[in-house]
Amino acid sequence: MQARAPLMIEHRLIERMLSVIKDHLANIESTRQIDPVLIDTVVDFMRFYADWAHHGKEEHILFRELKKKPLSSNDQRVMNELIEEHQFGRQTTKALVDANSRYRKGDGTALSDIIEKLQTFIEFYPRHIEKEDKVFFPASRAYFTDEEDKAMLAEFWEFDRKLIHEKYLSVVERLETQP
């Protein structure tokens, strides 16, 4: 298995979540109501799985290793775009959290913001995933020997193994600071 394989498998789960969001979005738009717990679940998925687990492996392992290589100007440009897109995803998730909090407090205008952020996910992530799967991952593979690729794959597995502990450490730390 090549190092890009787990990343592409993770993309398939993100796509499934986008489909779920799209299905719920149609209902939200027609009823003009939303279950804030659903949004909490979407946020948890986007933060923990899409960003921490998936983007974490890309940024902290794959991109780190690529920065050691003499990338073509095009590959460097695409990698920079992907980093910016990851940041955009984080900003969108944060805005969704803020809108959901306002909605819970009775701010009726927050519903439109929630709908907009969910729609942003549905439109943004398929293009981002396609750029990674069909353009960047195949191009980046050429920079690594088989041994380097296997070492990254092993580091991906170790990254995932530690991730659950990091998540719940942050949960406890956050709760400890709340009154």
Specify if 179 maps to a domain: no
Q: Which residues constitute the domain of residue 51? A: 4-170
CATH of the domain at 72: 1.20.120.520
| Pick from 153, 149, 140: nearest CA to 76 | 140
In a domain, 176, yes or no: no
Return the pLDDT at 24: 93
- Say how far apart CA 123 and CA 166 lie, in whole Å: 30
Is residue 107 situated within a structural domain?
A: yes
Q: Is residue 97 part of a domain?
A: yes
Question: DSSP letter string over 83-152?
Answer: HHHHHHHHHHHHHHHHHHHHHHTT-TTHHHHHHHHHHHHHHHHHHHHHIIIIIIHHHHHTTS-HHHHHHH
pLDDT in tens, 75-132: 999 999 999 999 999 999 999 999 999 999 999 899 999 999 999 999 999 999 999 9
Task: Please compute, for residue 88, the number of CA atoms within 13 A of its CA located in the half-sphere on the CB side.
Answer: 13
pLDDT score at 1: 85
In a domain, 151, yes or no: yes
Is residue 33, in this structure, part of any structural domain at all? yes
| Domain contains 84 | yes
Q: Which residues contact 26 (CB under 8 A, 6 or more apart)?
A: none
Note whether residue 177 is domain-resident. Answer: no
Handedness of CA 75, 78, 80, 83 (dihedral sign): negative
Task: Tell if the pTM clears 0.95, that is, is over it.
Answer: no
Q: Are 15 and 126 in contact (CB under 8 A)?
A: yes
32 CB-near residues (< 8 Å, 6+ apart)? 111
Q: pLDDT tens for residues 27-60?
A: 998 998 899 999 999 999 999 999 999 999 999 9
Q: Provide the domain count of the chain.
A: 1
Residue type, 123: E
Q: What is the C-alpha separation between 96 and 102, in angstroms, rounded?
A: 10
Is the model more confident about 175 or about 115?
115
Residue pair 150/67 in contact (Cβ under 8 Å)? The answer is no
